[in-house]
């Protein structure tokens, strides 16, 4: 009897039996990184606010380059207008090209380092621009310095929203991108009015204080949600560009970026050439950018329901078609309608670029690297597009660059359609 009672006691105290008993307990499945994305909440919308302020202070300021172009033509009479335009092109190139560096760094957890260092560089270069007296100094401060500063903070400020939004990701990013439209409306008016009553130095410095405040608040709004140590494997550039649907969409981005900026840069000039009132033509960009605010919210909201790739393909096609409507902007009504429609569809295309890249990401590890390398590719189109259009305009008039820009955007939209269809077949779903 005692032997019988001692046996179960020794069995219960046996480490082997306890281990076997634990092994029989079912383990909960591991939670995938990002599976608990909140899709809302105070912290999530603070990140959207931070991204909005970043876009206002960077892209909004970059899109105000027309004010500087007019000033530099007078300030540097020995430099051609074409050479001055390279300041804007080089700045645009660096703010996209740095994605190859900032994308992998974001994935590795260097978000705060990039935001703080990029903000510091950007603000310093704004104030250095105000002190420039020679053209080469302006190239260093405004083209290189500001371009690199924007390039360091642009991708991280956008990518962090993917940690907080999944179902509402395109809408959140669309709202954030409206910051650039707002900046492109407010900042040129602010600069023009300051230049009438103050020196160039003071005008740029006053706007610099405003932008510095925006970026400081933005940095305080941002907070990473997912620890970077969970990102263990990251695809190499070779693996990314072996992905045919991804390559087709990026090639589409390149072609569209090649022609997309022509109406933005030259629609006002077209109206002036046709003798339209100056008090109307000087507000052409303001009308275009105001319309782009709606273009960056409504299509992005629809993209969360129908897929970012599907929506950007449709919007890119309409963007290409709208380029040709420049020929109808020779009247007051025509100029206003073209500015509004082109602003809407081109704004939708710009705001959906990052969500479209993220549609190919298999997991959170690929957010930065896919977006970064995509930005690198179309940065070369941003660098070369305006000089090509300017050369065609000088030699052949408005018809040649308008047709060239419209065709390149439509070719880009067809490449994106092909990439979207392949991705749809691969996923087995129409929503991509």
Cβ neighbours for 136, distance < 8 A, ≥ 6 positions apart: none
Q: How far apart are CA 131 and CA 213, in angstroms?
A: 20
Domain with CATH 1.20.1250.20 in the chain: 40-224, 235-432
Count CB atoms within 10 A of the CB of residue 49.
17
Class at the top of the CATH hierarchy for domain 40-224: mainly alpha
Name which of 69-78, 111-120, 228-237 the model is least confident about.
Answer: 228-237
Higher per-residue pLDDT: 246 or 15: 246
pLDDT at 251 over 90: yes
- Taking only Cα atoms into account, the Rg of the chain, rounded to an integer number of angstroms, comes to 26
Q: What is the pLDDT of residues 284-295, one digit of tens each?
A: 888 888 899 999
Calculate what percentage of the chain has a pLDDT beyond 70.
Answer: 89
Q: DSSP readout, 16-74?
A: HHHHHHHHTSPPPPPPPTTTT--S-SHHHHHHHHHHHHHHHHTHHHHTTHHHHHHHHHH
Q: Which of 149, 160, 153, 155 is nearest to 222 (CA)?
A: 160
Of 232, 255, 250, nearest to 240 by C-alpha is 250
Nearest Cα residue to 280 out of 288, 268, 291: 268
CB 106 within 8 A of CB 155: yes
**pLDDT for residue 199 is more than 50:** yes
- Per-position DSSP letters for 175-187, written without gaps between them: HHHHHHHHHHHHH
Residue 104, pLDDT above cutoff 90: no
pLDDT of 88 higher than 50: yes
| φ and ψ of 330, to 5 deg | -85, 0
More confident residue, 318 or 169: 318
More confident residue, 350 or 36: 350
Query: What is the per-residue pLDDT for 30?
Result: 43
Which single residue is written with the structure tokens 């190239």? 139
Residue 90 has pLDDT above 70, yes or no: yes
56 pLDDT above the threshold of 70: yes
d(CA 432, CA 21): 46
Q: What is the mean pLDDT of the chain?
A: 84
CATH number of 235-432: 1.20.1250.20
> pLDDT band at 19, cuts 50/70/90?
very low
Q: For residues 373 and 393, what is the distance between their CA atoms, to the nearest angstrom?
A: 31
Question: Residue by residue, what is the 3-state secondary structure of 190-244?
Answer: HHHHHHHHCCHHHHHHHHHHHHHHHHHHHHHHCCCCCCHHHCCCCCCHHHHCCCH
385/202 Cα distance (integer angstroms):
32
- Band of the pLDDT at 12, cuts 50, 70, 90? very low
How many Cβ atoms sit within 10 Å of the Cβ of residue 67? 18
Residue 230 has pLDDT above 80, yes or no: no
- Residue 2 pLDDT grade (very low, low, confident, very high; cuts 50, 70, 90): very low
Distance CA 33, CA 27 (A): 18
Region 408-423 average pLDDT: 96
pLDDT, residue 275, reads 86
pLDDT at 208 over 90: yes
Tokens 């749809």 map to which residue? 424
Q: In this model, does residue 34 exceed pLDDT 70?
A: no
Position 224 pLDDT exceeds 50: yes
> pLDDT value at position 8?
44
Residue position matching structure tokens 């065709």 = 407
CA angle 18, 21, 27 (to 5 degrees): 125
pLDDT of the residue at 168: 87
Q: What would the two tokens of residue 224 be?
A: 């990473």
User: Percent of the chain scored above 90 by pLDDT?
Assistant: 39
Q: Give the span between the Cα atoms of 62 and 55, in whole angstroms.
A: 10
DSSP letter, residue 160:
G
Query: What pLDDT sits at residue 229?
Result: 53
* Mean per-residue pLDDT, 52-80: 85
DSSP state of 143: I
Would you say 185 and 173 are in contact if contact means Cβ atoms under 8 Å apart? no
Half-sphere exposure of 265 (CA within 13 A, CB side): 25
11 pLDDT exceeds 50?
no
State mean pLDDT over 44-56: 95
Q: What secondary structure letter does DSSP report for 401? A: H
pLDDT for residue 383: 86
Q: How far apart are CA 256 and CA 411, in angstroms?
A: 8
14 contacts: CB under 8 Å, gap ≥ 6: none
More confident residue, 282 or 200: 200
Band of residue 140 on the pLDDT scale cut at 50, 70, 90:
very high
Mean pLDDT value of segment 111-116: 94
């Amino acid at each position: 009897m005692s032997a019988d009672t001692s046996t179960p006691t020794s069995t219960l105290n046996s480490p082997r039996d306890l281990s076997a008993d634990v092994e029989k307990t079912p383990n909960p499945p591991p939670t995938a990184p990002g599976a608990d994305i909140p899709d809302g909440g105070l912290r999530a919308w603070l990140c959207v606010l931070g991204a909005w302020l970043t876009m206002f202070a960077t892209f909004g300021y970059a899109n105000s380059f027309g004010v500087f172009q007019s000033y530099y033509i007078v300030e540097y009479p020995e430099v051609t207008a074409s050479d001055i335009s390279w300041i804007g092109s080089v700045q645009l190139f660096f703010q996209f090209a740095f994605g190859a560096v900032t994308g992998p760094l974001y994935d590795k957890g260097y978000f705060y380092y990039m935001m703080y260092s990029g903000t510091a560089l950007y603000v310093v270069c704004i104030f250095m621009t105000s002190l420039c007296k020679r053209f080469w100094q302006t190239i260093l401060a405004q083209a290189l310095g500001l371009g690199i500063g924007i390039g360091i903070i642009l991708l991280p400020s956008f990518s962090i929203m993917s940690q907080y939004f999944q179902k509402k990701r395109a809408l959140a990013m669309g709202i954030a991108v409206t910051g650039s439209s707002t900046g492109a409306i407010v900042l040129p008016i602010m600069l023009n009015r300051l230049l009438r009553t103050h020196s160039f130095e003071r005008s740029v410095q006053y706007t610099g204080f405003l932008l510095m405040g925006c970026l400081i608040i933005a940095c305080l709004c941002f907070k990473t949600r997912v620890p970077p140590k969970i990102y263990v494997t990251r695809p190499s550039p070779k693996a990314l560009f072996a992905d045919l649907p991804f390559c087709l969409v990026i090639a589409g981005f390149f072609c569209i970026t090649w022609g997309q900026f022509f109406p933005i840069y030259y629609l006002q000039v077209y109206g002036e050439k046709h003798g339209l009132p100056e008090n109307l033509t000087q507000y052409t960009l303001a009308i275009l950018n105001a319309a782009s605010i709606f273009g960056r919210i409504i299509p992005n909201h629809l993209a969360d329901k129908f897929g970012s790739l599907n929506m950007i393909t449709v919007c890119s096609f309409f963007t290409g078609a709208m380029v040709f409507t420049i020929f109808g902007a020779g009247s007051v009504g025509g100029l206003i309608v073209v500015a509004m429609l082109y602003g809407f569809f081109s704004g939708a295309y710009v705001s959906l670029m990052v969500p479209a890249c993220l549609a190919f990401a298999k997991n959170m590890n690929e957010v930065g690297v896919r977006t970064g390398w995509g930005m690198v590719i179309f940065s070369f189109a941003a660098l070369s597009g305006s000089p090509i259009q300017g050369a065609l305009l000088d030699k052949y008039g408005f018809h040649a660059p308008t047709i060239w820009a419209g065709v390149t955007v439509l070719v880009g939209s067809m490449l994106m359609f092909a990439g979207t269809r392949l991705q749809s077949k691969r996923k087995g779903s129409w929503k991509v």
